[in-house]
Amino acid sequence: MKVKDLMSTNVESITPRTSLRQAARKMVDFGIGSLPIIENDELLGIITDRDISCHAVGLGHDANNTEVQKVMTSYVATCFNDQEIEAAASIMENCHIRRLAVIDHDNQLTGFLSVDDLARASSALAGKVLDSAERSH
């Protein structure tokens, strides 16, 4: 099975100048735990709910006046939308992440693959990813 068969394609994004508060509000509104940071069609980074709560607010950043670019993760693990789900799960496991950005061969973001998406196809793959992600936190 290919990643494109499981991934979520309706991806919300923000710009680097979005405030932490606006990013958190968007996550709440859409029921998501991460947002890609995109500018000029380029994927610059990602911010997660954990980044906001632990690494930003927990360290004293003002959520209303701090831009996500100050605390975002610049490295974003990716896979291609035409890869097999086993390859994507391996990337997630090796990077200790629960969400994987999916790109096309023009390096454009086309979606996200979550551990929940994986679970729909293979509980074994999802379990391995979860075990790996939990050990890293």
Given a contact cutoff of 8 angstroms between Cβ atoms, the answer to whether 36 and 101 are in contact is: yes
Per domain, the residue ranges of the chain are 3-136
What pLDDT is recorded for position 20? 95
What pLDDT is recorded for position 55? 77
What pLDDT is recorded for position 136? 57
- Using CA of residue 71, residue 55, residue 27, residue 10, what is the dihedral sign? positive
**From the candidate CATH numbers 3.30.1550.10, 3.40.50.1000, 3.10.580.10, 3.30.499.10, the one assigned to the domain spanning 3-136:** 3.10.580.10
Mean pLDDT per segment of 10 residues, for the chain of length 137 residues?
A: 94 96 96 93 92 83 91 94 96 92 94 92 84 70
What pLDDT is recorded for position 135? 66
Given a contact cutoff of 8 angstroms between Cβ atoms, the answer to whether 112 and 101 are in contact is: yes
Given a contact cutoff of 8 angstroms between Cβ atoms, the answer to whether 36 and 76 are in contact is: yes
Q: Per-residue DSSP letters for 106-121?
A: TS-EEEEEEHHHHHHH
SS3 content of the chain, % helix, strand, coil (to 5): 45, 25, 30
What pLDDT is recorded for position 57? 79
Q: Which amino acid is at 40?
A: N
* CA distance linking residue 15 with residue 38, whole number of Å: 5
